[in-house]
Structure 1
Amino acid sequence: MSDGSEPSRLAEKVREGELRLHELEDHTDSETAAAARRQLLEAETDAELETIGDFALDAEQATDANVENMVGAAQIPMGVVGPVQVAGGAADGEYYLPLATTEGALVASVNRGCSVIAGAGGADARVTKSGMTRAPVFRVGGIAEAEAVVSWVGENTERLREAAESTTSHGELLDVDTYVVGDSVFLRFVYDTKDAMGMNMATIATREAAQVVEDETAASLVALSGNLCSDKKPAAINAVEGRGRSVTADVKIPRETVEERLHTTPEAIEEANTRKNLVGSAKAGSLGFNAHAANVVAAAFLATGQDAAQVVEGSNAITTVEARDGVSASDASGGSSDESDGGLYASVSLASLEVGTVGGGTKLPTQSEALDVLGLRGGGDPAGSNADALAEIIAVGALAGELSLLAALASRHLSSAHEDLGR
């Protein structure tokens, strides 16, 4: 690192127009460049950036992979919920889930839900579908040419797979779905990206496959992303077809546990879910039929280094609740039902949860440590199992959040809980 005068000298060069903000790393190390930008901003805005400049991450690593024009780092409080037992296809055991958030009462609420799930013997969770998508749009002369392109794609999927997979040692092309709108042809490529979230992997692979389509048909590529993917935007296609991981978590809770721990009844929670999450969401034209699943998704994403903007797709979730007869503690943990007074079945299904345990923000130090808490840093064995497990644990966390909020609403304790915590 350069001496203390170096940031001031570089800041002055930017101020005088000799250098641009993004050129500083060409003349010094990343940490000094960040310090020079802070000095420039302090002089230009009268802000004090001492705390922003006090960070633990490696500036070189961050500027190489995660951010441009770095000035420092934003700190978000991180809490933890659990432990909660998860019986998943990939996750199996007791887990603590780190959550990074600025919303007071969120961690407390989710932790209450986790405690109730733990008291019921844990939750089941499964990834039911997996596939990262990229959907380029092509221009054709008209519907006749569009039909010809669609036919060619259907007959040559193996050629497209070979081209796409030539760009990656891990990703696999699963399918290519075709859509036609007038003289536009959309090809929605679906990939198994293993333990990576895989957006960059899918984009690079699709670029190679799109070149083959252009070479062999009358189609002309207009945009590598035609928004039928659809990334970081509310989209029914993701709610229906899924993107990333489609994952469901569910639990059966005995009536006595609902009454003692959630201070309400299974019937009251069911009615709150039906009228709020189902009827209310339908009337609003919502793509998400849940109470606040995005709260847990966002906090888990920030804690574990996921792409925070993809919480948009993470809100594509449906919560179901049913008051059932004969749900006892033994039934909740996998046994058979008995003559008890019944209980509660609850599930949350997230259609498009985009997560990874390698690449991107997962390499940053605090995010890597959060993944270590889960035991899921890096690639899994078999490949993809760590990302599957992360999806399942987040789904159980979302389920815990749904249970806690619905119970607070059903018992009319929501506002008092916030008041008690001073939020």
Structure 2
Amino acid sequence: MDVDALVAAVRNGDVRLHELEQHADADDAAAARRRLLAEETGAELETVGAYAFDAAVAEPNIENMFGAAQVPMGIVGPIAVDGGAVDGPAHLPLATTEGALLASVNRGCAAIRAAEGATARVLKNAMTRAPVFRVSDVAEASETAAWVREHVDRLAEVAESTTSHGELRGVTPYVVGDSVFFRFAYDTKDAMGMNMATIATEAACETIEAETPAELVALSGNLCSDKKPAAINSIEGRGRTVAADALIPREVVESYFGTTPEAIAEANTRKNLVGSAKAGALGFNAHVANTVAAAFLATGQDIAQVVEGSNAITTAETRDDGLYASLTIASLEVGTVGGGTKLPTQREALDIVGVRGGGDPPGSNADALAEIITTAALAGELSLLGALASNHLASAHEELGR
């Protein structure tokens, strides 16, 4: 069917809106939806429909597509980072609608460059899925947990049979009365790995049901914990746990931020540590979510996982006549293959970073992306803390017309 025929079919009730791709190519289906929406709502959808890729490419990523959201994208860097997976300067595209964000991150990047760079490392890599089982009582719960502890190798064999890349790192039992949770943790290489972990865990759950009294209630029991604030992710991590730090000489702090190491350290303690503790926050940082969300949008990550990505601690202290600053993100969930990384805009953004596709060795590209994002977020922390310590935050936004 052409667009006119598709529109008529929906109006007549012969075809439902979500079925259009069964009768036409993806671009015509999206055009028909735009026309129907425009007629029903009175909205002008010309810009929404002016996307630059073949809509068929996006079919694995969305349903009922009628256009694309275009978010301005800017660049930060060079980011000078000595990483475990990246060595040397890199640029990072950020997509955002928040004015002054890129200017702030770039100021922090410039200060880090003047300080001869930052260091970054991926400390842990473990994507998790935690199913919940039903048992009759705590005796059966104990029996089931004990069986799983003794047979992790067998569960690994079953789980890994579903994937050519994932590796089971471990399984941790948690018992709450007649509920038994098992937190499976996987190395998913260059994939963010949520789907990989889910499919592998489902296979392992069938073995647990066959060998123990437990009955599976839900493949995800929220102890994973995906896309929700959770203390377990702060402690155990999820995805990649990444740290970056830098030692900024006093003269660089004064030149780039217009303040002193002592003032930034005090602002960090009173704001990020004491203030966050008083608020009962899980993240003890200034605005890590800003950089993480913008990097996720640009590079095709699951944007909802910024919840875990903001689970970070910023430290700052005076040291050696300068400022030592660090950022540790407990659960940064990123990948360079699969999901939104296949979309054309996001592929180009990953090319800028130099990490598109699978790495050699496997996992190295996603590690590099995690180290670069964390270092950029550290730059953003330094810049905001400097603006607060020098009382320049409001004037900076005013100057940039935000």
TM-score (norm. length: structure 1):
0.94
Residue 386 of structure 1 corresponds to which residue in structure 2?
Answer: 365
Residue 325 of structure 2 corresponds to which residue in structure 1?
Answer: 346
Residue 354 of structure 2 corresponds to which residue in structure 1?
Answer: 375
Number of aligned pairs? 402
Where in structure 1 do 4 or more consecutive aligned residues deviate above 2 Å? none
Distance 2:274 2:241 in 1: 23
What's the secondary structure of 1:44's corresponding residue?
helix
Does the aligned pair in 2 maintain the 1:244–1:352 contact within 8 Å? yes
Residue 149 of structure 2 corresponds to which residue in structure 1?
Answer: 154
What's the secondary structure of 1:286's corresponding residue?
coil
Q: Deviations over 1:206-237 (max 9, x none)?
A: 00000111111110000000000000000000
What's the secondary structure of 2:340's corresponding residue?
helix
CA-atom RMSD in angstroms: 0.7
> 1:202 Cα shift?
0.3
> 1:16 Cα shift?
2.3
Residue 317 of structure 1 corresponds to which residue in structure 2?
Answer: 312
What's the secondary structure of 1:10's corresponding residue?
helix
Distance 1:252 1:12 in 2: 65
**Counterpart pick for 1:95 among 62, 67, 90:** 90
Residue 28 of structure 2 corresponds to which residue in structure 1?
Answer: 32
Distance 1:115 1:14 in 2: 55
> 1:109 Cα shift?
0.4
Q: How does 1:122-141 map to 2 (within 5 A)?
A: 122-141=117-136
Distance 2:304 2:190 in 1: 19
Distance 2:15 2:160 in 1: 41
What's the secondary structure of 1:107's corresponding residue?
helix
Does residue 50 of the first structure (1) align with residue 8 of the second (2)? no
Amino acid at match of 1:80: I
Residue 267 of structure 1 corresponds to which residue in structure 2?
Answer: 262
Distance 2:315 2:54 in 1: 43
> 1:15 Cα shift?
2.2
Distance 2:109 2:161 in 1: 44
Distance 2:169 2:150 in 1: 15
Does the aligned pair in 1 maintain the 2:79–2:372 contact within 8 Å? no
Does residue 23 of the first structure (1) align with residue 2 of the second (2)? no
Does residue 399 of the first structure (1) align with residue 395 of the second (2)? no
Distance 2:233 2:54 in 1: 35
Residue 65 of structure 2 corresponds to which residue in structure 1?
Answer: 70
Does the aligned pair in 1 maintain the 2:191–2:338 contact within 8 Å? yes
Does the aligned pair in 1 maintain the 2:141–2:178 contact within 8 Å? yes
Amino acid at match of 2:97: T
Distance 1:227 1:15 in 2: 42
Distance 1:37 1:237 in 2: 42
What's the secondary structure of 1:150's corresponding residue?
helix
**Counterpart pick for 2:277 among 265, 282, 300:** 282
Residue 356 of structure 1 corresponds to which residue in structure 2?
Answer: 335
Amino acid at match of 1:403: L
Amino acid at match of 1:320: T
> 1:181 Cα shift?
0.4
Does the aligned pair in 2 maintain the 1:8–1:39 contact within 8 Å? no
Residue 227 of structure 1 corresponds to which residue in structure 2?
Answer: 222
Q: How does 1:193-232 map to 2 (within 5 A)?
A: 193-232=188-227
Residue 56 of structure 2 corresponds to which residue in structure 1?
Answer: 60
Distance 2:100 2:53 in 1: 28
What's the secondary structure of 1:49's corresponding residue?
coil
Which runs of 5 or more residues in structure 1 are unaligned? 327-341
What's the secondary structure of 2:91's corresponding residue?
strand
Distance 1:151 1:320 in 2: 40
> 1:58 Cα shift?
2.0
What's the secondary structure of 1:191's corresponding residue?
strand
What's the secondary structure of 2:233's corresponding residue?
helix
Amino acid at match of 1:32: D
Which runs of 5 or more residues in structure 2 are unaligned? none
Distance 1:385 1:286 in 2: 32
Amino acid at match of 2:47: T
Amino acid at match of 2:24: T
Q: How does 1:234-245 map to 2 (within 5 A)?
A: 234-245=229-240
Distance 2:91 2:8 in 1: 48
Q: Deviations over 1:380-401 (max 9, x none)?
A: 0000000000000000000000
Does the aligned pair in 1 maintain the 2:34–2:49 contact within 8 Å? yes
What's the secondary structure of 2:183's corresponding residue?
strand
Distance 1:359 1:391 in 2: 16
**Counterpart pick for 1:169 among 147, 156, 164:** 164
Distance 1:420 1:160 in 2: 59
Amino acid at match of 1:33: A
Distance 2:385 2:7 in 1: 53
Amino acid at match of 1:87: D
Amino acid at match of 1:368: R
Does residue 13 of the first structure (1) align with residue 13 of the second (2)? no
Residue 331 of structure 1 corresponds to which residue in structure 2?
Answer: none
TM-score (norm. length: structure 2):
0.99
Does the aligned pair in 1 maintain the 2:193–2:335 contact within 8 Å? yes
Distance 2:79 2:130 in 1: 38
Q: Deviations over 1:31-90 (max 9, x none)?
A: 111111111101111111111111012211101x11011101000000001112110000
What's the secondary structure of 2:32's corresponding residue?
helix
Amino acid at match of 1:364: L
Does the aligned pair in 1 maintain the 2:259–2:389 contact within 8 Å? yes
User: Equivalent pairs: percent with the same residue?
Assistant: 72
